[in-house]
Amino acid sequence: MNLQVVDEALAATREGLEVAGFSLKLGENNGRLSLTIGANEGACEECLVPKSLFLQMVRDEMAAGGVKVDGIDVVYPVDRKAE
Amino acid sequence: MIELLDPTRELRSGHMVYAPRPSSLKGKTVGLIENTKYNSDRLLEMIGRILVDDYGVANTKLYHKRYSSVPAHEAIITDVRQTCDFMIAGVGDCGSCSSGSVLDGILLEKEKIPSASIITHVFVNTGRAMAKQWAVPDYKFLVMQHPIANIPEEELLAKARAIVPEIVDLLLMAPEAKAAA
Amino acid sequence: MSLELLSHRHRIADEGDAIDYCFRQNWSDGLPVVPPTEARVAAMLEAAQLAPDKVIGFIPEREITITAEKVAINAVLAGCKPEYMPVVVAAIECITDPAWAYHGPSTTTSGPAVLIIVNGPIARELDINSGENLFGPGWRSNLTIGRAVRLVMRNVCGSLPGVLDRATHGHPGKLSYVIAENELESPWDPLHVDRGFKKEQSTVTVLAADGPRQIFSQLAPTTDGVLTMMADDMRISGGVIGQTHYVVLLAGEHMEMVVRDGWTKTDVKRYLFENTMNTYAHLRRTYRFPLPLKPGDETRIRPLVSNEDMFFIIPAGGKAGAFSSYIPGWAKASWSRMVTKEIVR
């Protein structure tokens, strides 16, 4: 998986997150793409869309960018708090 | 705040069916649903003022959503349906509130109220994804430059003036009718 | 195997409003439902060891695919415990089987319900009622399993009243219609063994069916007396359309008589078959068949069912009371067949 290519395809998503005070980190885990969203200070967690919507957006953008990925795992700030 | 999963069969593709539109705004009432984000109310009020002054709208009603990321609650939808001729929702300047405003437009169109939803440009993909989730991938919403939260009054007014013609266009003619014309 | 739940999410600002939200979204059968959160849905899928995107059923006439995820969400709405999920899944597999022919029974003005009969060890494990108050309230398993199936039909398959469900009256079984056979106290092979399964397997059998008709046979001291009364009632129950299935439910006192008198299932079926004949004249005079009378109608005989195996004899119901019931199937047996499938765990 070429994370650079994925990153370019997800530019719009990244911008939307950063504008709302979030960070986006890309990683690979056993052949699956992992997207970790971090909350910067003052970020409004309510501003994050539901995961299903986020996945839809990400898939659409990757399709538009001609990038194919089999599995995508999304980690939200609230998921890490629960650990 | 909780999330419920939809138990119904979800259609992955369809076309937006817009409410029938009158030919003029003159003498009509416009509902403005602001999504609690900073400056949304000011911006919608400015838009409302322009519609009254320049387009003959009789009056405007401002509604405040309780939560930006969910659709306007039942009481608002009922009141708009019963007392307004048009609806403008906005302004979505974050991920979830933009999807919330897009959803307000979709829901009010289903209630036969011609509507216009406004979001900011960095969230176009969010708005589009929300429209797809509701099986209306071609739903038309309006886009203005981000941000609106921390800009001076004059800049806000300029944005309002710039978008009003697009709003009027969308309120008076549904996109599908335009395509056919 | 993707574990991701793909359903659209609805965000509810006020958790206390969730039940009303479900009503407003038209997801309910008229009774309050359990709000389907991700955790509840995931637990349902896990109990049945199913991937969310596994296809449980497909209805060709409507191009509807029913996934495990959607079944799980509706099972949560219904109030099912996670361990009930395999039963619900098997029932959905039955109603989407081409032999059940979904479109007919779900749409028709004659409004049949989905009778669900559970057999095998699972009935006892899940405490599915086979005794007193058989059709009545009190058992979470019976009521929520049936309800889950109906909610899938309404929410996923679109069988909404007034839209694609045009029942004139329908009957209360359309909320939930689930029973288990009383296998422990029966001298006979249970239904699922008759249908080709092993006794230790657990199965679900579905039938598009009318409401139960009860007979009260306090004066009949023997099995043939009870069956004579039942046959008399059944004989005129036949509808205009055709020969269908009949499920016969023999409750406690009557089953004791059956055991004492040494009747086999075949004996019962044969007796009912022979005593539920009608003349064509009678059928025409009562507007079950078209007039006018034809020569020979006074002696020409029509059996209630096409053959004695269309009677399905099932011990079920409470120990006390001289009552048994029969349930006519819908319309014509060939239009929608009884279907049995294994419950997979």
Interchain CB contact of C92 with B (< 8 Å): no
Structural domains in chain A (count):
1
Tens digit of pLDDT for each residue in C20-60?
999 989 899 999 999 999 999 999 999 999 989 888 998 87
**DSSP 8-state assignment for residue B5:** E
User: What pLDDT is stored for residue B11 in this prediction?
Assistant: 64
User: What pLDDT is stored for residue C315 in this prediction?
Assistant: 97
Residue-averaged pLDDT of chain C: 92
Interchain CB contact of C11 with B (< 8 Å): yes
Residue type, B40: S
Which CATH number does the domain housing residue B125 bear?
A: 3.40.50.10350
For residue B102, the enclosing domain spans: 29-180
Tell me if B54 is assigned to some domain: yes
Give the pLDDT mean for A38-42: 85
Q: Are residues C267 and C131 in the same domain?
A: no
Least confident range from A27-31, B143-147, C212-216: namely A27-31
Give the pLDDT mean for C258-266: 95
Structural domains in chain B (count):
1
CB C51 within 8 Å of CB C3: yes
Highest mean pLDDT among B72-81, C96-105, C113-122: C113-122
Residues of B in contact with C64 (CB under 8 A): 9
Which CATH number does the domain housing residue A70 bear?
A: 3.30.300
Counted across chains A and C, CB pairs separated by less than 8 A come out at 11
Estimate to the nearest angstrom the gap between the alpha carbon of C5 and the chain centroid. Answer: 30
pLDDT, greater one: A75 or B31: B31
For residue C260, the enclosing domain spans: 212-328
Order across the sheet with C213-216: list the strands: C213-216, C323-328, C246-250, C311-315
Q: Are residues C170 and C217 in the same domain?
A: no
Give the pLDDT mean for B37-62: 95
Tell me if B21 is assigned to some domain: no
For residue A20, the enclosing domain spans: 3-82
Where would I find the beta strands (DSSP E) of C188-319?
A: 203-209, 213-216, 246-250, 278-279, 301-302, 311-315
Tell me if B129 is assigned to some domain: yes
Does the pLDDT at position B12 exceed 70?
Answer: no
Does the pLDDT at position B104 exceed 70?
Answer: yes
Instruction: Report the distance separating Cα B159 and Cα B164, nearest Å.
Output: 9
Tell me if B18 is assigned to some domain: no
Interchain CB contact of A78 with B (< 8 Å): no
pTM (two decimals): 0.69
Q: Are residues C179 and C274 in the same domain?
A: no
CB C263 within 8 Å of CB C223: yes
Least confident range from B62-71, C127-136, C220-229: namely B62-71
Q: Are residues C171 and C313 in the same domain?
A: no
* Alpha helical stretches, state H, B27-152: 40-55, 74-83, 95-110, 124-133
Q: Are residues C224 and C107 in the same domain?
A: no
User: What pLDDT is stored for residue C240 in this prediction?
Assistant: 53
User: What pLDDT is stored for residue A83 in this prediction?
Assistant: 41
Residue-averaged pLDDT of chain B: 90
Interchain CB contact of A4 with B (< 8 Å): no
Structural domains in chain C (count):
2
Tens digit of pLDDT for each residue in C124-167?
999 999 999 999 899 999 999 999 999 999 999 888 777 777 78
User: What pLDDT is stored for residue C1 in this prediction?
Assistant: 44
User: What pLDDT is stored for residue C82 in this prediction?
Assistant: 98
Does the pLDDT at position B135 exceed 50?
Answer: yes
Q: Are residues C221 and C174 in the same domain?
A: no
Say which of B7, B9, B10 has its CB closest to residue C151: B7
Q: Which residues of B make CB contacts under 8 Å with C? A: 1-10, 66-67, 69-70, 73-74, 96, 133-134
Say which of B1, B125, B147 has its CB closest to residue A61: B125
Q: Are residues C242 and C164 in the same domain?
A: no
Q: Are residues C91 and C200 in the same domain?
A: yes
User: What pLDDT is stored for residue C160 in this prediction?
Assistant: 79
Instruction: Report the distance separating Cα C269 and Cα C222, nearest Å.
Output: 16
Minimal C-alpha gap between C156 and chain B (Å): 4
Give the pLDDT mean for A4-23: 89
**DSSP 8-state assignment for residue C239:** -
Say if the Cβ atoms of A60 and B130 lie within 8 Å. Answer: no
Tell me if B7 is assigned to some domain: no
* Alpha helical stretches, state H, A20-75: 51-64
Q: Are residues C229 and C204 in the same domain?
A: no
Residues of chain C with pLDDT > 90: what percent? 72
Where would I find the beta strands (DSSP E) of chain B?
A: 2-5, 29-34, 59-64, 86-92, 115-120, 142-144
Minimal C-alpha gap between C74 and chain A (Å): 19
Q: Give me the phi and psi of C165, to 5 degrees please.
A: -135, 100
Q: Are residues C107 and C166 in the same domain?
A: yes
**Which value does ipTM take for this structure?**
0.90
Residues of A in contact with B123 (CB under 8 A): 16
Say if the Cβ atoms of B67 and A46 lie within 8 Å. Answer: yes
User: What pLDDT is stored for residue C238 in this prediction?
Assistant: 61
Say if the Cβ atoms of A19 and B97 lie within 8 Å. Answer: no
Instruction: Report the distance separating Cα C56 and Cα C68, nearest Å.
Output: 6
Give the pLDDT mean for C67-86: 97
Strand partners, C278: C302
User: What pLDDT is stored for residue B132 in this prediction?
Assistant: 81
Where would I find the beta strands (DSSP E) of C79-141?
A: 113-119
Residues of chain C with pLDDT > 70: what percent? 97
Q: Are residues C31 and C1 in the same domain?
A: yes
User: What pLDDT is stored for residue A81 in this prediction?
Assistant: 59
User: What pLDDT is stored for residue C309 in this prediction?
Assistant: 95
pLDDT, greater one: B58 or B95: B58
Say which of A20, A60, A61 has its CB closest to residue B95: A20
